[in-house]
Amino acid sequence: TVNCLDQHVEKSPDRVALIWERDEPGTAVHVTYRELLDLTCRLANTLKKYGIQKGDKVAIYMSVSPLSVAAMLACTRIGAVHTVVFAGFSAESLAGRIMDSECKAVITYNQGVRGGRIIELKTTVDEAVKNCPSIKHVFVAQRTDNKVQMGERDIPLEEEMAKAASVCTPESMDSEDMLFMLYTSGSTGKPKGIVHSQAGYLLYAALTHKYVFDYQQGDVFGCMADIGWITGHSYVVYGPLCNGATSVLFESTPVYPDPGRYWEVVQRLKINQFYGAPTAIRLLLNYGEEWVKKYDRSSLKTLGSVGEPINNEAWQWFYHVVGEGRCTLVDTWWQTETGGICIAPRPSEEKAEILPAMAMRPFFGIVPVLMDEKGKVIEGNDVSGALCIAQPWPGMARTIYGDHQRFLDAYFKVYPGYYFTGDGAYRTKKGYYQITGRMDDVINISGHRLGTAEIEDAMADHPEVPETAVIGYPHKIKGEGAFAFVVVKEQTTHVDRVKEELKTIVASKIAKYAVPDHILVVKRLPKTRSGKIMRRLLKKVVTEQSNNMGDVTTLDDPSVVNEILDAYQKYKEK
């Protein structure tokens, strides 16, 4: 926090640190570095008053706001570890993360506001902490004027902050101490708490922010991400603030009150760098150019894309329509685990070429390698393989909280001596990198990474559904969607009811975005003799490559393939 706040308050206390673009259009709130330090210290002193100490874990379940940023920084100020949970996650997801990280407190709002709708945050927290004995206090701030039920462990945050001192001496930390944890999905089992360190993470977030986006002092940096994701941590909070930037906090959605919202915000706040997700660009592309052209975008210098590979059509529209063909467009590849951007078209030589829909160039110190199936490094160009990184870098995650073995198994065991990203990539004839997508059972829905196993586990709770298999399929807007194949019990008569119940279960166990777009009931799933479900066959059915099923000899009963194809055809005709 000294790097993110105090150093700037000494030099230019009245510089704007945060511009909070609230859900209600046209109601931006400006917060200076001095004001943010004041908020942070008061919140930090409040946490201390209630027994939060260095090394304690604190969950933050809040919508994007200056107060949620202050909550992150207040934890950091006193050496506590924050774990921000995206405010769209269900009570069950929140409880799982609180229990895994052994949090002592939760900081939340009475309610959230997004796209003109009220989101019941406090109610969700109440539901979650019922089963979390480690939680001693719930700090509740007010985002709306509505009253919520306050219980014994609930503390009105603003009232306490008003009484707290505005000076809080920062805790001195070791460079490798834990800064925060953030949960991400893997291909197996429950979400894992990725741990980032104090010095390496901050340095990497700040450097990548400065050099990838060519951030200049005085620019207004507009990253549209929620603070619940790593993009929000690195490019809304830590990177920009460490660089003394003015960072936009976007609380709303791209289509509220209409599909011109992003561009109206660009015009009104005079945003210079705009960093968004391909899924939002694809959504807006469908509404046509007039919503973009209505607003003045002359302040824009750099456009950025994050969260998933951007397709060519979306790239062209973003570049030509939004950026008028004059802005640098950086397609950035990185992960929760990498802490910051690893491959992007900039920095590079002045005016170096940028190719559509390609991350292209590794950042300083990043050494990408492609591996073949035998675990050998693939030399030369015009080749594809598993994307690994050959040397450590400052922003890399240090462990999975409470399970270092899982950390080693997931990232370092697959290709010993290398960090395995889980993504495949293609190296072009000129030596540039293009990310081709996940190599495991992880899907990317609107930039949200999700293990298909998580959706399957949730659906398996339905008493009438003995078996499920979920795969990702190409989705026009979301990039990927989830397609579920389910087997229902023989005596089940109301299949449509079961489908609706399955959707409700997934929404309540994970989040709304995880709900499958399609649920197809089949008699049985394609299994090998050892009982393993062959998901690649299901993928071929859905992507309509049934004439190229590959080797089906290991199937217990190969006739299952035609059964599923028939069911799929009937489903499609409906």
The string of pLDDT tens digits covering residues 231-290 is 999 999 999 999 999 999 999 999 999 999 999 999 999 999 999 999 899 999 989 999
The string of pLDDT tens digits covering residues 3-59 is 999 999 999 999 999 999 999 998 999 999 999 999 999 999 999 999 999 999 999
pLDDT tens-digit profile, the chain (574 residues): 999 999 999 999 999 999 999 999 989 999 999 999 999 999 999 999 999 999 999 999 999 999 999 999 999 999 999 999 999 999 999 999 999 999 999 999 999 999 999 999 999 999 999 989 999 999 999 999 999 999 999 999 999 999 999 999 999 999 999 999 999 987 777 889 999 999 999 999 999 999 999 999 999 999 999 999 999 999 999 999 999 999 999 999 999 999 999 999 999 999 999 999 998 999 999 899 999 999 999 999 999 999 988 889 999 999 999 999 999 999 999 999 999 999 999 999 999 999 999 999 999 999 999 999 899 999 999 999 999 999 999 999 999 999 999 999 999 999 999 999 999 999 999 999 999 888 888 899 999 999 888 899 899 889 999 889 999 999 999 999 999 999 999 888 899 999 999 999 999 999 999 999 999 999 999 987 777 788 889 999 999 887 888 777 778 888 999 999 999 999 999 8
Q: What is the pTM of this model?
A: 0.91
Q: Do 381 and 434 meet the contact criterion of CB atoms below 8 Å apart?
A: no
Query: Which residues are CB-neighbours of 545 under 8 A, at least 6 positions away?
Result: none
**What does the pLDDT read at residue 99?**
97
**What does the pLDDT read at residue 533?**
86
DSSP 6: I
CA distance 174 to 318: 42
Question: What three-state secondary structure class fits 152?
Answer: coil
Q: Do 33 and 12 meet the contact criterion of CB atoms below 8 Å apart?
A: yes
**What does the pLDDT read at residue 128?**
98
Which residues pair with residue 511 across a beta bridge?
89
Q: Tokens 């709304």 — which residue?
A: 512
Query: Which residues are CB-neighbours of 21 under 8 A, at least 6 positions away?
Result: 28, 248, 249, 250, 251, 252, 265, 269
Burial class (CB in 10 A: 0-12, 13-18, 19+), 50: middle
Read off the amino acid at residue 112: G
Q: Do 541 and 564 meet the contact criterion of CB atoms below 8 Å apart?
A: yes
Domains of the chain listed by start with CATH number: 2-252 (3.40.50.12780), 368-438 (2.30.38.10), 443-573 (3.30.300.30)
CA distance 517 to 376: 38
